[in-house]
Amino acid sequence: MWKSKRTAWIHAQCGLSLLETVGVVSIGAVLAAITLPHVYDLIADSKAESLVSAAKVYRQAISRYYADVGTVLPLDSQGVPRIERIGNSANPNSLPAQLTLVASDARVGSFNRWTKFQGPYLEKFDTQYPPELGGNMFLPTQQALPLGSAVTGSNRAWDLKGDDARSDVPTQAHTVIFRVTKITPEQFLRIDTVIEPDIGKTVQEKQVRGRAKYEPGDMSLRIYLAHQ
């Protein structure tokens, strides 16, 4: 009996009252409400930076490929450059598939520009697994619209200077685009801020100016990588 009372006395002295417990829980809730948004922002910014870093790696790979082969377009079996508008790595004729080829691979031809191929230029590119953000990623090749064409979120014109939403890419130039699907408007703005924080004052301007542009209709981010 004496031990039981002593134990109850100790618990009463060491434990928290109901009021104190409520106070501690309330403080914890307030701290969580203050801290969590910042944590989420840090995670979102980190993911945006990872995607931008991947885009830089792809651009460097294309630059090395161009230095060897003399084109930014993928090659057909005869070593002739061809536009390939989808850029899905599952297609062996796509640019991302060819950038990852080893020069000794049986798929590397022996004609024309294939003789200058010194791959691999890129360690990995899998359309189904974009870096950190998005649903799928692609490296399509396109022919640019005429110089001075109005830029939209999805067309083949690029306002690289970011000054007037008119294309700065030479007429009929061949371009390589890094396209990522299922990007939310918020994610696009984070990515655009990493790439070009000073281009565009409004959301609408940011969606069409500079190297990164966005089409809300199909939630696609398009980043200009190179042209020839």
For residue 66, give Cα distances in angstroms to 48, 110, 150, 154: 27, 18, 28, 25
Per-residue pLDDT tens digits for 174-201: 999 999 999 999 999 999 999 999 999 9
In the three-class reduction of DSSP (H, G, I as helix; E, B as strand; rest coil), residue 138 is classed as strand
Structure tokens at 216: 């809300």
Per-residue pLDDT tens digits for 140-161: 999 999 999 999 999 999 999 9
Nearest to 196 by CA among 158, 227, 157, 170: 158
Per-residue pLDDT tens digits for 91-103: 999 999 999 999 9
Nearest to 143 by CA among 113, 171, 178, 180: 171
Q: Is 152 exposed, middle or buried (0-12, 13-18, 19+ CB in 10 A)?
A: middle
Phi and psi of 186, rounded to 5°? -65, -45
Per-residue pLDDT tens digits for 13-43: 555 676 666 565 566 556 556 655 566 777 8
Q: What is the mean pLDDT of the chain?
A: 89
Nearest to 150 by CA among 94, 209, 79: 209
